[in-house]
């Protein structure tokens, strides 16, 4: 599903150049959840940005669902991202003047679906996330956990094959963070999606099949995650308990 072949990203030139990512190769299968960890400045966010087509590598190849996205130009990449990928950003990146339902529907609207279809799908997903009672609220009226769930709904609404999550549990309390991890686990395992998570949060290891450590732009080691601690694989595990914090 996701194949990174000898990815290198260099910022600057000459003596001031920095290898943010240095000759990294990595394969992630459908239904697999991989967590990338490392200190600040290690290159993990740059690597995931490259894998998601948000940044061009200096060298190397990225294959997503059989498509070499490094061979695509800047006009072709947005459509690939809309139809194949979902992104969960640490800062949520919700549009403040739109409701939760409208924010979650954005990928479908950009993909050309009708407003009615986009809102119906958005509303249904928010209901599955126990946010139907907040569907008409704007971001400033939502708690941090609620905003995160809206961001997750937006990432999932277009039924992507690959999900990229940057610090998805940052600034969330233990209970909501656990539920976010369970949701990502359910999406990956039950729906066969590849999930790639960047995190400093040690708790996130519990959702991973594999934990990859990166330092100075290089993959330095890999260890198995504790996937079975979080993943229940139950039909109802996609639903989250109502959070009114």
pLDDT of 182-226, one tens digit each? Answer: 778 877 887 888 999 998 888 888 889 999 999 999 999 999 988
**Which sequence spans correspond to the domains of the chain?**
2-237
Residue-wise pLDDT for 143-177, tens only, equals 888 898 899 899 989 989 999 998 887 767 777 77
* Among 14-23, 174-183, 190-199, 227-236, the least confident range: 227-236
Of the given ranges (76-85, 95-104, 108-117, 225-234), which has the lowest mean pLDDT? 225-234
- Name which residue leads in pLDDT, 98 or 242: 98
pLDDT(233) > 60: no
Full strand arrangement of the beta sheet holding 67-68: 18-28, 2-11, 59-64, 67-68
More confident residue, 169 or 123: 123
Pairing of strands 210-215, 33-37: parallel
Max CA distance (Å), the chain: 56
pLDDT at position 171 is 66
CB 38 within 8 A of CB 215: yes
What pLDDT sits at residue 74? 87
Cβ atoms < 10 Å from Cβ of 169: 24
When mean pLDDT is compared across 128-132, 134-138, 157-161, the lowest value belongs to: 128-132
Structure tokens at 38: 């490392």
DSSP string, 201-216: -GGGGGG-SEEEEEET
What CA–CA distance (Å, rounded) separates 198 from 147?
A: 19
- Two structure tokens written together for 39: 């200190």
CA distances, 24 to each of 21, 59, 82, 161 (Å)? 7, 10, 25, 22
Report helix, strand or coil for 25.
strand
Q: Which residues pair with 196 in a beta bridge?
A: 34, 164
Distance CA 8, CA 56 (A): 10
Lowest mean pLDDT among 100-104, 127-131, 171-175: 171-175
Residue 237 and residue 189 in contact, taking contact as beta carbons nearer than 8 Å: no
Residue 6 pLDDT level (bands cut at 50, 70, 90): very high
Cα(184)–Cα(219) distance, integer angstroms = 24
**Cα(201)–Cα(198) distance, rounded to whole angstroms?**
9
Please tell me the pTM assigned to this model. Answer: 0.85
Cβ atoms of 162 and 2 closer than 8 Å: yes
Residue 234: its pLDDT value, please?
40
Q: Where residue 244 falls among pLDDT bands split at 50, 70, 90?
A: very low
The mean-pLDDT minimum among 95-109, 122-136, 231-245 falls in 231-245
Class of domain 2-237 (CATH, top level)? alpha beta
| pLDDT confidence of residue 50 | 94
User: Averaged over 49-65, what is the pLDDT?
Assistant: 94
> Which comes out higher in pLDDT, residue 28 or 188?
28
Strand 18-28 vs strand 2-11: parallel, antiparallel, or unpaired?
A: antiparallel
């Amino acid at each position: 599903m996701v194949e990174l072949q000898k990815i290198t990203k260099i910022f600057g030139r000459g003596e001031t150049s920095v290898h943010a990512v240095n000759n990294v190769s990595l394969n992630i299968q459908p239904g697999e959840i991989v967590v990338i960890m490392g200190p600040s400045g290690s290159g993990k966010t740059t690597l995931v940005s490259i894998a998601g087509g948000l940044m061009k590598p200096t060298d190397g190849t990225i294959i997503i669902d059989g498509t070499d996205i490094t061979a695509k130009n800047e006009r072709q990449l947005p459509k690939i991202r809309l139809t194949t990928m979902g992104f969960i950003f640490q800062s949520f990146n919700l549009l403040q003047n739109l409701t939760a339902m409208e924010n979650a529907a954005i990928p479908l609207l950009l993909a050309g679906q009708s407003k009615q279809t986009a809102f119906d799908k958005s509303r249904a997903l928010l209901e599955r996330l126990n946010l139907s009672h907040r569907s008409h609220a704007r971001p400033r009226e939502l708690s941090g956990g609620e905003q995160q769930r809206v961001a997750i709904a937006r990432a999932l609404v277009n039924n992507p094959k690959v999900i990229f999550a940057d610090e998805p549990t940052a600034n969330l309390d233990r209970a909501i963070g656990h539920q976010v991890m369970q949701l990502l686990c359910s999406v990956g395992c039950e729906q066969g999606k590849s999930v790639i998570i960047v995190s400093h949060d040690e708790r996130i290891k519990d959702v991973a099949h594999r934990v990859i450590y990166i330092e100075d732009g290089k993959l330095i080691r890999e260890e198995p995650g504790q996937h079975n601690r979080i993943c229940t694989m139950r039909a109802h595990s996609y639903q989250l308990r109502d959070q009114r914090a």
